Structure formats: C-alpha cells, structure tokens
Amino acid sequence: MRRILIIDDEDDIRQVAALSLETIAGWEVAVASSGAQGLARAVDYQPDAILLDVMMPGMDGPSTFRELRKNPATSKIPVLLLTAKVQSTDQRRFADLGVEAVLFKPFDPLTLATQISSVLSWS
C-alpha cells in the first residue's frame, strides 16, 4: 500500500485529496497543515511521496521542499507540487527546483491518484 503525505494549509484541499487517494487508490494518507508540520511528519511517516502546496503562510512549498532535500531522512522522497499558479514562468521556476511534477488546482479528485501514479511510474 502506498503512503502519501499531503502538506497544504487549506483544510478542504487536504480533506478532498486524502479522501480521493484513500477511497479511489486505497492508499494510506497522512496530512500536515504547514511546512514546518510537514517536515516533522515526513520524518516520522516516511511516505512514498509528498503532495506539497506551493502557497502557504510561514514556510511556503518551495522552502519546505528545500528543507526536505537537506534532511537525509527525507531527501529521497518524491515531491509533487500542488499549485493554482499556471503561468509558464512559475511552472519553470517550480520545475527547476527538482520536484517530480507540478499538479494544478483545482484538481480532479477522480483522477488525482492516476496522475500521481503516472508521474512516479507506479503500476
């Protein structure tokens, strides 16, 4: 069973994504509501992948991603950014970070697991 960590400051996004991944894909999901909480949760939970919101108060997604990469316990966990920013300059900047993919909000809960599986080459 795949283990996913969702780091997003919006309750409804966390709930919809978690419900979608648990119900449709049968994955185990943990959530965090901030970058700092997500960093700690990633170490403890050791997910197979992290779904990370870009725009969060305090520590934003790119900063959280950089901190995840600095820690040997989380440096190899694949990260997919979740964003409402669809400008090509933003997309390039996010891709240059080294994330696995950038997924766009609003996402389709019925295809979210398929998108993640496809990007990460999970069968």
CATH number of the domain to which 68 belongs: 3.40.50.2300
* Confidence class for position 88, pLDDT limits 50, 70, 90: confident
Q: What is the pLDDT of residue 121?
A: 97
Tell me: pLDDT of 92 over 90.
Answer: no
What strands lie across the sheet with 3-7, from one edge to the other?
A: 28-32, 3-7, 49-53, 79-83, 101-104
**Total domains in the fold of the chain:** 1
| pLDDT tops 80 at residue 79 | yes
pTM assigned to the model? 0.94
Tens of pLDDT, residue by residue over 12-47, are 999 999 999 999 999 999 999 999 999 999 999 999
Q: What is the pLDDT of residue 89?
A: 75
Distance in angstroms (rounded) separating the CA atoms of residues 77 and 68: 8
pLDDT higher than 90, residue 84: no
Structural domain range at position 99: 3-119
pLDDT at 94: 77
Average pLDDT in the chain: 94
